[in-house]
Chains A and B, each alone.
Chain A
Amino acid sequence: MISSTTFHMISTDATIGMFVLSGFAFMLTVFNKGPEVRDTVAHWALAGGLIMTPFAIITGVLASPGDGLDNPLLANKLLLSMTATGLAIGLLWRRYRQGPADRLYASIGMITSGLILTTAGIGGEFTRGESLLFLIPKDIVILFPIWASAIILLLGLAMIGNSTVKHRG
């Protein structure tokens, strides 16, 4: 029998690997180096990482000791991973509509990859007490009031709706 911890390792490795590849290809785009295929690699690797992310999250929840979000590290993991997932979907959607990434979007792609790596780093600190991210305060959770989150949510939905209407047809 294989434990959920092993499955979590497999899915996490796959996810992180693809996001790292994506981040590297986006970095080449920012510096305008490397072959033209870098844009394709960046976005396909981003898509692959995005597909694997739910598996990593589910196996991580199953493998995690304790019940629920009883640690600030876990809360920060949730916020960072959701932010990174939103950025990744936004980048892929933009790529589908508008073509290859320019420097601005490539930079956002690098940020997305960095957020995912930070999330993984927090996971390492949670399970093993070890992390390379010494300087990032990971035990502080910035939690907005619900009304502020509601405004942010409405803003996001409005932007998505506005964009969808403008690009209809």
Chain B
Amino acid sequence: MRIRLIFVLIFLLAIANFSTANPGGVGDGIRSMECGGSCHGDPGLNGLSSASIELEIEPEVWAEMLTTVTIYVNNSQPSDTRIVGTFLLINEDGAKDTPSHDGWGIVAGPNGGNGNYAEITSPHSSDVVEFVWTLRAPVAGQYNLLASIHHGSEEGELAYQGSSQSISVTVQTPPEDLPRLADNYNPPTVRETGEVTTITLETENVDTFTVEYRVDDGNIISAPVVDGKFTLPAAINVGVVEWRAHLQGEGPDQSTPWFRLVAEEPAWEIDDTALYFQAFALFFLCIGLLQLQTTRKEESKEYDLTEEVLAAAMPPISSEISPEIEVAEGPPLPSSGLPQGWSIEQWNHYGQEYLNNLEGGGLQ
């Protein structure tokens, strides 16, 4: 039995696929590059990705205004799940390396979140993945940005890592009268499919503006602006629509970066009250069922009349045997009881003789 168990365990260990990668990904979020190593086990065990990684951003951007960063990942040869994860970083130190450490604000990530790490499934057809972040620039100064990627491999035994060149970005103080989006304006990043989106643009130093949008095929379409609002048509399928505004005012004309609006399937919904109610009902039912079983078992003992029936059918057996009844045929027993080694039958027959001898001997 033990040997068979050991063989089963060895078999299970042998068929297990040991991998240092997370083939299912870990989800978008705010992550340091160090996590890029620790998420895949020992960073020293990672392989070097063959992908080419290019980071694209305007070399000069306005301080505290929105801009976009695009990262192109080509030929990554990921695992069967085809997930590629990309970090937007400011250095390769492995700690304190997220854009927020330099004052960059992440308005929207590639999937609509606000983390510096995002995962996208690489298409089978082209093996080109594009990651776009919308950032709010920090105060004026010189900054660096770079991208790092992680992915699995078809063999599955290793995680692969690669990094782009570090790109220098100059952040300048904008002119006072520069047409711009309001400082506190955050464009919408996510919507549900089938939902028309009306956006109200909040601006400063702007007299008029026009809006245009594009979808995956790249055709640029103008969107009419009415009372500072414009409408983007509903998305039929999951995907991305990008839009931007051209702002005109006293200062030099400005164009915003392309803002991404990700269309997702409607969120899964359930009646929370019914679900919690059912959960508690099952909880109490399970406790009750086990106690019910207990009660039945004890009830069966309660109606078990075997002992009573047996007692009625058989005469009581007394464990106390009266020596007077047994010895009625012989002489009364002395106070010391039967002589040592005698039975009651012997006493019946020879008891009187014993007493006579004892009496005579006593006198003598």
Contacts and interface: CB of A to CB of B under 8 A. Distances in A.
Contacts of B23: 129-130
B287 A65 contact: no
B124 interface: no
Contacts of A70: 267-269
A163 B295 contact: yes
B279 A150 contact: no
Contacts of A90: 286-291
B24 A129 contact: yes
Interface in B63-120: 81
Contacts of A156: 281, 283-289
Nearest to B22: A128
B308 interface: no
A53 B289 CA distance: 21
Nearest to B291: A163
Contacts of B270: 69, 72, 75, 141, 143
B275 interface: yes
Given A82-B280, A83-B283, A98-B297, A75 B292 contact: no
B310 to A, nearest CB: 26
A143 B282 contact: no
Contacts of B291: 90, 93-94, 159-160, 162-164
A35 interface: no
A147 B315 CA distance: 60
Max count, chain B CB within 10 A of own CB: residue among A68, A90, A166? A90
Interface string B290-306: 11111101100000000
B239 to A, nearest CB: 21
A58 interface: no
Interface in A107-138: 108, 127-130
B27 A71 contact: no
B269 to A, nearest CB: 8
Given A128-B24, A166-B295, A152 B282 contact: yes
B182 interface: no
Nearest to A151: B281
B24, B29, B272, B288 — most chain A CB neighbours (10 Å): B288
A104 interface: yes
A82 B274 contact: no
A86 B294 contact: no
A89 B281 contact: no
Q: What is the size category of the interface that chain A forms with chain B?
A: 35 or more
A51 interface: no
B30 to A, nearest CB: 11
Contacts of A71: 268
Interface in A53-89: 65, 68-72, 75, 78-79, 82-83, 85-87, 89
A158 B285 CA distance: 9
A75 B275 contact: yes
Most buried by B among A79, A108, A156, A166: A156
B358 to A, nearest CB: 59
Nearest to A33: B1
B294 to A, nearest CB: 5
A96 B35 CA distance: 47
B279 A78 contact: yes
A98 B294 contact: yes
B95 to A, nearest CB: 13
Interface string A135-149: 000000101111001
Residue from A98, A105, A163, A164 with most neighbouring chain B CB atoms (10 Å): A163
Given A127-B27, A149-B277, A83 B286 contact: yes
A75 B280 CA distance: 13
15 contacts: A68-B272, A70-B269, A98-B294, A129-B23, A129-B24, A129-B81, A143-B274, A153-B281, A155-B288, A156-B283, A156-B288, A159-B292, A160-B291, A162-B295, A166-B295
Interface of B: 22-27, 29, 81, 267-295, 297-298
Lowest 5 CB-CB distances: which A-B pairs, in order? A129-B24, A159-B288, A86-B286, A90-B290, A156-B284
